[in-house]
Structure 1
Amino acid sequence: MSRTSDKPIAVVVDGYSAGNFYPAAFTAAGARVIHVQSTPELIPTMAPPNLAEYAENIVASGVDALVALLRPYAPVCVVPGQESAVQLADSLSEALGVASNGTALSSARRDKYDMIEALRAAGVRCADQFKSADPAALVAWAEEHGSYPVVVKPLSSAGSDGVYICAGADEVRTAAERILASQDIFGSSNTEVLAQSYLKGTEYIVDTVSSDGRHYACGVWQYEKALLPSGQNIYNRDVLVAPDADPVPALIAYVGEVLAALDVRWGPAHAEVIMTEAGPTLVEIATRLNGNLNSAFHDQCLGHNQAALSVQAYVHAEEFRATYGGGVYRKLQSAVVYNTPTELDGTVGSVDQSVVEEIKGLGSVAQVTVKWAPGVRIRPTVDLMTSSMKVFLTSSDEAAVDADYEKIRLLKDSVYRLA
């Protein structure tokens, strides 16, 4: 790629999953985009980046080597395409002297233990917690904590991977041993386990975009989850909430405190917050795009999408702050994101396209993603990664969305025929 151009250059680090919406958004904003692949091979557990959409793909690891390769391009920003890229993007942006959240609190924006401790130090409401590599120590903390259930999970994974709600000491021990014997979804070994107090209440998503410390709340969604006998709490559907509905103003104000405590000044953030009796309390926050982002769908129900807003926050910062700084989204239509759970267990023999087309033909369905192809092993859902489909629904008629959701619940397992 030519390094002389009037167009600004943006860098996306590991543009997996929702990061795939960045290239089109940067292009629309008049920028060229380069991809940094931080691993020699693409991570197999995640939706891969479409490298054809980038002007160049740089495969390298190590901050110094990447800074030397990127500096001649004089990029305007470096953004993480997914969660495991957050710390590398922070380091690169800081070293290159571009808009950056910096590295001082980078670990607290990634490691879930450090995250909650940063909130505690800032006087922001948060959970009690303990971490250890010893299952016995985790059991001892849970027993001394004096109240079950407790939550046991990896320190740095995502998508509800390895998250267990434990009702007693034996369940804590079993969950900790499972986590320590496994890798997270990014392929890293779990060397420690986090135990936290259970936050009782309704859980919400609060998505934001920031530009030089000016925050815009671009969507609040209510989680509906299902608790499995194993203690794993799986995603079911996310429901868009009106900005003036209770408790949305309180959630947005609280997330503003969280962003300040973690020194999040630039780019997107995806917070999960439970509305407890004491008030909003953070589950966790990630300084990357919402994994359920779909630009066309969000444009339809919200009038904008987090990827395009994030690009504007960097590339046209003054315009973004004038238009969105300190603002709150509008709900244009009712909307649901449904990550379909399944109890199917076996090898996919075929996908019944007639059922897929029946689902696509429902009036409120905006998009359907069938996740598993013939020949692939399908297993009962235990986390977001093992859901069987993703369906986006939106309509001006809320009753139509609910009715279509119920129809999809009945049809979802008929999509797959096992060998």
Structure 2
Amino acid sequence: MAAANRTPPPTRPTAVLVDASSIGSFLPSAFDRLGVDVVHVRSTIAGTGLAAYRPSLLCADPAATAARLAALDPIAVGAGQEPGVPLADELSERLGLPTNGTALSAARRDKFEMTEALRRAGVRCAEQVRASNAPEAVAWAESRGAYPVVVKPLASSGTDGVEICADADQVRDAAETVLRSRTVYGEPNTAVLVQSYLAGTEYVVDMVCCRGARYTCGVWRSQKRLLGTRNAYDLELLVAPDEDVVADLIPYVGSALDALGIDHGPAHAEVIVTPDGPTLIEAGARLASHLDPGFHDECLGGNQAALTALAYTSPETFLRDRAGRRYTRLLAAGVYATPTTQDGVVARIDWTVVKQIENLPGVYGVLLKLREGDRIRPTVDLRTSTMRVYLRAETDEAMMRDYRLVQDLKDHVFQLS
């Protein structure tokens, strides 16, 4: 294990975060506000935005890393991104800290193992097969005698490589595409997952867990658009906590997290409400990918990063104030992943248009996903959307009015060469 720098022994408590760049970058400030320092441990993925971490360590051997971390007397170990989940499980277990444990680590990363864990626990789930080649995938789909089916990587995210297939040829093409590609985290796809298609409305359910008790941070209804054989995110809408569907989703997701052994830290679940009831697409032991702490504070009265830090730092306070409860809906809210049909190279960004979008009364903030010189391609999934726009207003009508205005402006932001 190599250290980026050496520091004197901490004078404040220390928490350890594994692979916590990207969305995990919201955690250091959340811990800092509670008087806790953070140490970053990197497994194999490179990370950006690590300046907030006191030391940043590279783990070559979990046992040696755990011994090194023990000298800091940490109070918690958690994962910031999906690839960090297994190492966070192992380090927390070795250190005798609150842990989801290693027994079900594979089920928290591998989507086939995830669904099988639900099946063993008697939790409603999809039919599926794990195939090592395209002919195996096609044979299973044909044996079912029912289309569509869904083809996807075993351990990616953000709709990466997810295809809805209506026949054997589409299954073959999708499986071959997955098997010759890598995940969004750079990991090779050595097998492909084929599952029964779940018909219904999709919801996102975000929770924070502490000693098996849970607080529901938010429930969002996913409005998607079918782009060829891919179902791409468009708009996620905050659901009122007293809607009937929320009362169905919370216990179902709780049962799914129990089956996956997620008792500590954040959880992000994607669920389809089918005619038979809620059914899991996937769950992650991590923060929600659309998290913006300030936006969530304004719309929901709290955010998942701050509540995660609270659960690890002061579990008794979390259990007293949050366990078994759910969010409030202070404002109508939505997160818009802007699609595009543009194809080329971004010559310049029209900041006048960006400012025009930001000045709309219902827009909380805008995250540009492209820079000058980047390639822009027609949107086929979440990764190829061009911006993330956070919307909130006093009423749904006002928010949707500004959503439609952003739709009109979005393709004027990026000027092509």
Tell me the TM-score normalized by structure 2.
0.97
Q: Which residue of 2 aligns with 1:206?
A: 205
For residue 46 of structure 2, what is the amino acid of its counterpart? L
For residue 125 of structure 1, what is the amino acid of its counterpart? R
Residue 396 of structure 1, CA deviation: 1.4
Q: Which residue of 1 aligns with 2:178?
A: 179
Q: Which residue of 2 aligns with 1:378?
A: 376
Once the two structures are superposed, residues 310-331 of structure 1 have per-residue CA deviations (whole angstroms, 9 ceiling, x without a partner) of: 1100101000000001111111
Residue 4 of structure 1, CA deviation: 4.2
Instruction: Select 2:264's aligned residue among 262, 266, 274.
Output: 266
State how far apart, in whole Å, the 2-side matches of 1:8 and 1:172 are: 51
Give the secondary structure class of the aligned counterpart of 1:247.
Answer: helix
Q: Which residue of 1 aligns with 2:135?
A: 136
Q: Which residue of 1 aligns with 2:407?
A: 409
Q: Which residue of 2 aligns with 1:83?
A: 82
Residues 184-195 of structure 1 aligned to structure 2 (within 5 Å): 184-195=183-194
Instruction: Select 2:354's aligned residue among 353, 356, 359.
Output: 356
State how far apart, in whole Å, the 1-side matches of 2:51 and 2:10 are: 21
State how far apart, in whole Å, the 2-side matches of 1:341 and 1:257 are: 34
Q: Which residue of 2 aligns with 1:33?
A: 38
For residue 245 of structure 1, what is the amino acid of its counterpart? E
Q: Which residue of 2 aligns with 1:169?
A: 168
Give the secondary structure class of the aligned counterpart of 1:205.
Answer: strand
Give the secondary structure class of the aligned counterpart of 1:78.
Answer: strand
Once the two structures are superposed, residues 13-67 of structure 1 have per-residue CA deviations (whole angstroms, 9 ceiling, x without a partner) of: 111221110010000011001111223x725xxxx2x222111111233312321
Q: Which residue of 2 aligns with 1:243?
A: 241
Residue 98 of structure 1, CA deviation: 0.7
Q: Which residue of 1 aligns with 2:4?
A: none
Residues 102-181 of structure 1 aligned to structure 2 (within 5 Å): 102-181=101-180
- What runs of 5+ residues in structure 1 fail to find an aligned partner? none
8 Å contact 2:21–2:50 — kept in the other structure?
no
Once the two structures are superposed, residues 134-155 of structure 1 have per-residue CA deviations (whole angstroms, 9 ceiling, x without a partner) of: 1111101001111100000000
Percent identity, aligned pairs only, is 50
Give the secondary structure class of the aligned counterpart of 2:342.
Answer: coil
State how far apart, in whole Å, the 1-side matches of 2:50 and 2:262 are: 28
State how far apart, in whole Å, the 1-side matches of 2:395 and 2:8 are: 50
Once the two structures are superposed, residues 65-91 of structure 1 have per-residue CA deviations (whole angstroms, 9 ceiling, x without a partner) of: 321221111111111111111111111
Q: Which residue of 2 aligns with 1:253?
A: 251
Instruction: Select 1:12's aligned residue among 14, 17, 23.
Output: 17
Once the two structures are superposed, residues 115-138 of structure 1 have per-residue CA deviations (whole angstroms, 9 ceiling, x without a partner) of: 000000000000000011111111
State how far apart, in whole Å, the 2-side matches of 1:313 and 1:251 are: 22
Give the secondary structure class of the aligned counterpart of 2:367.
Answer: strand
Q: Which residue of 2 aligns with 1:223?
A: 222
For residue 227 of structure 1, what is the amino acid of its counterpart? L
Aligned residues: 411
- What runs of 5+ residues in structure 2 fail to find an aligned partner? 1-6
Give the secondary structure class of the aligned counterpart of 2:74.
Answer: coil
Moved over 3 A (4+): none
State how far apart, in whole Å, the 1-side matches of 2:19 and 2:207 are: 21
Give the secondary structure class of the aligned counterpart of 2:399.
Answer: helix
State how far apart, in whole Å, the 1-side matches of 2:65 and 2:226 are: 43
The answer as to 2:8 corresponding to 1:2 is yes
Give the secondary structure class of the aligned counterpart of 1:58.
Answer: strand
